[in-house]
Structure 1
Amino acid sequence: MKENDFTHKPLLTKREREVFELLVQDKTTKDIAKDLFISEKTVRNHISNAMQKLGVKGRSQAVVELLRMGELEL
């Protein structure tokens, strides 16, 4: 068995994490899109994908859950 077989795999992708890190800085979808050089639709897709993974129905619920799980820091 490899040494890293039991390492913690992050719940979010790198880009989903970047989006949520900007969300907790009170950035809008438009701001996030501009900062990351992606479309607003792509930002919304990243947020939606993360919410699905977490089983929550809103951005604020997602942030609370990610903070609780230690996946996101303020």
Structure 2
Amino acid sequence: MKDGPKHRSLLTGREREIFNLLIEDQTTKEIASQLGISEKTVRNHISNTIQKLGVSGRAQAIIELLRLEELHLR
């Protein structure tokens, strides 16, 4: 595995944490509890990422982030 991205990441650290948990099939509620933040904050991070990518939903965002090598399946 690579040491890190060679380019500037599209994601903030928190967005990356949230999307890594999403691809592990965790719910918004589970993510909020695990990270100690509100469900609304989790949804805001997801929404911001969807907007950055110009896609229409979480599933498309995950596919695009995998394609861009911003996320990796374990």
Normalising to structure 2: TM-score of the pair? 0.90
1:2-36 CA-to-partner distances (Å, cap 9, x unmatched) read xxxxx511000000000000000000000000000
Q: Which runs of 5+ in 2 are unaligned?
A: 1-5
Report the structure number with the largest CA radius of gyration. 1
**Corresponding residue pairs, total:** 68
| Structure 1 residue runs of 4 or more that deviate by more than 4 Å after TM superposition | none
Equivalent in the alignment of 1:16: 15
Equivalent in the alignment of 2:70: 71
**RMSD (Å) for aligned C-alpha atoms:** 0.7
The alignment partner of 1:11 has SS state of coil
Normalising to structure 1: TM-score of the pair? 0.90
Identity within the alignment, %: 68
Decide which structure has greater helix share. 1
